[in-house]
A = this chain, B = another copy of it.
Amino acid sequence: MDEKQLSSWLKSRRERKRSLDVHKLFSDLSAGKRDALSRGITLLESTLSEDRRHSSELIQLCLPHSGKSFRIGITGVPGVGKSTFIERFGMHLVNQGNKVAVLAIDPSSAQGGGSILGDKTRMHELSTHPNVFIRPSPAGSTLGGVAAKTRESLLLCEAAGFDVIIIETVGVGQSEVQVNEMVDFFLLLMLSGAGDELQGIKRGIMEMADALVITKADGSNKEPAERAAREYANALHLFPEKQSKWIAPSFTCSAFENKSIDKVWEVMESFLNQTTINGWKTVHRKQQDVHWLKEALKEMLVADFFENTDWLNKLVQAEHEVVNGKTTSYQAALSLYVDFKNKK
């Protein structure tokens, strides 16, 4: 065996080892091993090009085993009591025999401001339950990237046998629009009495909601919460009919007193029945698939440049020229783009 043969043998051996790893990871993951699921998601989040190849392989292995869960988006402004709600709601689900995964998207954590789920103690009971998997969003990425990774994580959780997947978001912005592209049911949590009842959250987010639940309806807050729920119910009726034909209800709950948490799940089950019968669930998922086809394609087109060392070096050079005032960012981008298009 000469040096060339040796190197080729080592290479093939390395590649076999790699592909074995992904297959092993997949089989552990689909056997329900939580650490394999964790490692799988970490792999998805990696930006190393070798890891990217592996994660692409892993997703393809998982895809045939995905799609069977009920996918739920839960959002609400900070302070609405999302953690407490999800703790109670999640426990209700596992007590009904479900395996529950909670994934969180928190765009503002990109600034290094601590993740939404950095502190697992905010869901004591739920996070230690054997049938529950909780995972915060990958930090330091762009929102588009975070959303795409969250959707891929969702596919992995499904392949790992989780049958209810909760995607949690914070705030009133773009993350909700992205999450709406990956869930079957979108739940909006709201507070009563936080200023003008109908101004607290953008109309666009309210229109997406499949149910609107007023939290913290306990003690002296019970009456205002009931009133707010009625007002929202009226407001929801003014929106155009949803494609799903589902009429979004508005009601109160108390995670503290564990009241109406079961009602939230009943509403979701009734939504699931209705949209399975009228075909919306399938149509909706297909619409979402079309969305993710485009997103995945965009990511691949961008990765073509950004995962190539030679071009990255040229980019660094262009950055220096921009910083030194020799060119503008727009001109530099254009010139890199034209070179990339012609030379490859």
Contacts and interface: CB of A to CB of B under 8 A. Distances in A.
Interface of A: 56, 59-60, 63, 77-79, 106-114, 142-144, 170-177, 191, 194-196, 199-208, 286, 289-290, 292-294, 296-298, 300-302, 304-306, 315, 318-319, 322-323, 328-334, 336-337, 340-341
A295 B259 CA distance: 47
Given A297-B315, A341-B304, A79 B289 contact: no
Nearest to A325: B286
6 contacts: A78-B172, A78-B202, A108-B205, A173-B173, A290-B329, A297-B337
Contact of A302 (B63, B208, B298): B298
A205 B207 CA distance: 26
Contact of A294 (B109, B194, B201, B315): B315
A60 B331 contact: yes
Contacts of A315: 293-294, 297
Contacts of A207: 111-113
Contact of A108 (B204, B286, B318): B204
Given A142-B174, A171-B172, A173-B173, 16 more contacts: A79-B199, A110-B204, A111-B208, A113-B203, A113-B204, A113-B205, A143-B173, A171-B171, A172-B172, A173-B175, A289-B329, A290-B319, A290-B323, A293-B319, A302-B302, A304-B337
A328 B205 contact: no
A322 B293 contact: yes
A199 B79 CA distance: 6
A293 B205 CA distance: 32
A286 B59 CA distance: 38
The 10 closest A-B pairs by CB, nearest first: A113-B204, A173-B173, A111-B204, A296-B333, A108-B204, A107-B174, A293-B329, A108-B202, A113-B203, A143-B174
A220 to B, nearest CB: 15
Nearest to A204: B113
Contact of A114 (B174, B203, B329): B203
A44 to B, nearest CB: 12
Given A78-B200, A199-B78, A173 B305 contact: no
A160 B293 CA distance: 40
A196 to B, nearest CB: 6
Contacts of A205: 108, 111, 113
A79 B194 CA distance: 9
A207 B199 CA distance: 26
A51 to B, nearest CB: 17
